[in-house]
Amino acid sequence: MGKILAISNQKGGVGKTTTSVNLASSLSYLGKRVLLVDVDHQANATMSMGINRANLKTTVADVFSDKANIKDVIQKVDSVNVDILPSRYELGNIESFLISHDNKDFILSNALEEVRDNYDFIIIDCPPSLGVVTINALMASDSVLIPVQCEFLALDGLTQLLNTIRLIQTKQKHNKRTLTIEGVLLTMLDTRSNIGYEVINEVKTYFKEKVFKTIIPRNVKCSNAPSHGLPVTEYSPRSKGSISYQNLAKEMVALSERG
């Protein structure tokens, strides 16, 4: 039964999508069966994996609105051995649709249950908000990985996310999960500036052993890869960005195996 992992931080541009895409590809290199779930209507993970949005007949929005079965929406990524549940702009309208839905917080959880046995890891790329779609993602998850950018105000707003996680933990009895914090991932470290190292210290003081040892450096290959529709691990396998994401995957697998 696959482990379901949400990549979440309601702050925008902290590296959620970059982490989702490259953790997915890196786990696949370790022989893990991986499903990447895009629940952001910006569809950045979908595009970063080289999927042409215009050709999509169905998307995750159809799973939310019960117009399609999850198994019919999942497709294979060309470049890496990863499956994807793709997203598109339609998902942006889902909040108003879900308002009157009885079980609105558990739609994704119920859908993923149908495919969970086919994967070792299911990685959910969340949008930069704590709306109903993110609640669905967290409700479906066993754990949450929080990317934190090594910049000024890195921890700003994180109490809101931590409060949401606590709220989810009390509601999750329904689907027999208990959301834990997988870890805090420091991203986009600029090794030439002091502020990055100050943030590392601050985050480690606050989250202690929950901070991943692997730190993702700022690396231009990471920001170039999406325009080629490739994870950085394929676009530039030996770049610092690629190697750091592969190290993260190894660190995570070791943590999971230790229990």
Q: Does 2 bind ligand ATP (CB under 6 A)?
A: no
Nearest distance, CB of residue 125 and Mg ion, angstroms: 6
Q: Does 177 bind ligand ATP (CB under 6 A)?
A: no
Q: Of 35-64, which residues contact ligand ATP (CB under 6 A)?
A: 40, 42, 44
- Contact between 90 and 65 under an 8 Å Cβ cutoff? The reply is no
In the chain, DSSP finds a helix count (H) and a strand count (E) of 12, 7
Q: Of 187-206, which residues contact ligand ATP (CB under 6 A)?
A: 187-188
Q: Does 11 bind Mg ion (CB under 5 A)?
A: no
DSSP 164-209: HHHHHHHHGGGGT---EEEEEEEE-B-TT-HHHHHHHHHHHHHHGG
Nearer Cβ to Mg ion, position 26 or 172? Answer: 26
d(CA 187, CA 115): 30
The helix (H) or strand (E) run that includes residue 34 is strand 34-38
d(CA 45, CA 50): 9
Nearest distance, CB of residue 178 and ligand ATP, angstroms: 25
Nearer Cβ to ligand ATP, position 44 or 214? Answer: 44
Candidate segments 30-38, 61-69, 135-143, 211-219, binder of ligand ATP by CB under 6 A:
211-219
Candidate segments 13-21, 81-89, 101-109, 201-209, binder of ligand ATP by CB under 6 A:
13-21
Nearer Cβ to Mg ion, position 46 or 236? Answer: 46
Considering only residues 6, 16, 25, 233, which one is a binding residue for ligand ATP as defined by CB under 6 A?
16
Nearer Cβ to ligand ATP, position 37 or 222? Answer: 222
Q: With 0-12 CB in 10 A as exposed, 13-18 as middle and 19+ as buried, what is 97? A: middle
Cα dihedral 8/14/16/17 (nearest 10): 150
Contacting residues for 242 by C-beta, under 8 A, at least 6 apart: 22, 221, 232, 233, 235, 236
* Of 70, 66, 84, residue with least CA distance to 112: 70
Nearest distance, CB of residue 160 and ligand ATP, angstroms: 15
Nearest distance, CB of residue 32 and Mg ion, angstroms: 22
Q: Does 222 bind ligand ATP (CB under 6 A)?
A: yes
CB atoms within 10 A of CB 243: 18
Nearer Cβ to ligand ATP, position 18 or 136? Answer: 18
Give the one entry of ligand ATP, Mg ion, none that residue 218 binds, where binding means its C-beta sits below a cut-off of 5 to 8 angstroms depending on kind: ligand ATP
Q: With 0-12 CB in 10 A as exposed, 13-18 as middle and 19+ as buried, what is 201? A: exposed
* Interacting residue ranges for ligand ATP, rule: CB under 6 A: 12-18, 40, 42, 44, 128, 187-188, 216, 218-219, 222-223, 226, 241
